[in-house]
A and B are shown apart, each in its own frame.
Chain A
Amino acid sequence: GENVEQHPSTLSVQEGDSAVIKCTYSDSASNYFPWYKQELGKGPQLIIDIRSNVGEKKDQRIAVTLNKTAKHFSLHITETQPEDSAVYFCAASINNNDMRFGAGTRLTVKP
């Protein structure tokens, strides 16, 4: 089955700096790659996603890139703010079924 690895496990940045989280996946058939943000006491919330026919997608301060050949994808957050502090998860699936998650990255944005 699909195996998703995520790095780093923790990330601390100064407010206004950029943050980058990287993931790799094992199953070349995977074609859907969402990113989730989880705040304390809540369920994961979808923040951005990318499909295998697209190399990059941007939504305001958040962007995701996908390299199908290397089987890795990354989340980029620019101009970080304290409210960006949370745990971020990458995931991979085939046609949105059987979604497998990375281990998570705890992002801390220091004011």
Chain B
Amino acid sequence: DAGVIQSPRHEVTEMGQEVTLRCKPISGHNSLFWYRQTMMRGLELLIYFNNNVPIDDSGMPEDRFSAKMPNASFSTLKIQPSEPRDSAVYFCASSLQGWYGYTFGSGTRLTVV
């Protein structure tokens, strides 16, 4: 099993540009989570999906952030327009809904200049 696959690993973009982060969960997992990690705020849950349906997006910081899960094997997190304060490592994780821990991807390090 290749685990949770995120792309790109690193992204450097200019303020105002659109950024799209991608995630492929583990096959068979039916829950998907997007987290953001910064030194100041630690690991923050942004949004999660169960069976491709968004369940809780209360952690999405602003309307500039949006997430989709068009099918069980793919999800995107989009920031439009990006700002320097969005610079962070973004993690995607997947799990089997219920009593199992999360498997995290390697993350996307986003730098907005």
Residues of A bordering B, CB below 8 Å: 32, 34, 36, 41-46, 49, 51, 89, 95-104
Contacts and interface: CB of A to CB of B under 8 A. Distances in A.
A96 B97 contact: yes
Interface of B: 4, 31, 33, 42-43, 45, 48, 50, 55-56, 91, 93, 95, 97-107
A43 B106 contact: yes
A96 B105 contact: no
20 contacts: A36-B101, A43-B91, A43-B104, A43-B105, A43-B106, A43-B107, A46-B103, A89-B43, A95-B99, A96-B95, A96-B101, A96-B102, A97-B50, A97-B55, A97-B56, A98-B45, A98-B56, A99-B102, A101-B42, A104-B42
Contacts of A102: 42
Contacts of A42: 106-107
B67 to A, nearest CB: 15
A96 B33 CA distance: 11
Mostly, the B contact residues are: strand
B43 A97 contact: no
A106 to B, nearest CB: 11
B91 A96 contact: no
B43 A34 contact: no
Nearest to B98: A96
